[in-house]
Amino acid sequence: MLKKVLTWLAVAFVVFYVIQRPDDAAGIVRSAGAALGDAAQSLSTFVGSLV
């Protein structure tokens, strides 16, 4: 039950944040995407160097 309440609170916070500060929210998503891309590139380089 507590997990369900915390999940809904987190979703509500994200929606509130996106509504109140859409530019900041977009920046966070952009940064997260860039970080994931960098991590994928690093992993690709590592695996490529194993061969």
**Domain spans in the chain, listed from the N-terminal domain onward:** 22-51
What pLDDT, on a 0 to 100 scale, did the predictor assign at position 38? 97
With tokens 């952009």, the residue in question is: 30
Angstrom CA distances, 10 to 14, 36, 43, stand at: 6, 22, 31
Q: Which pTM does this prediction carry?
A: 0.65
pLDDT tens, residue order, the chain (51 aa): 999 999 999 999 999 999 999 999 999 999 999 999 999 999 999 999 997
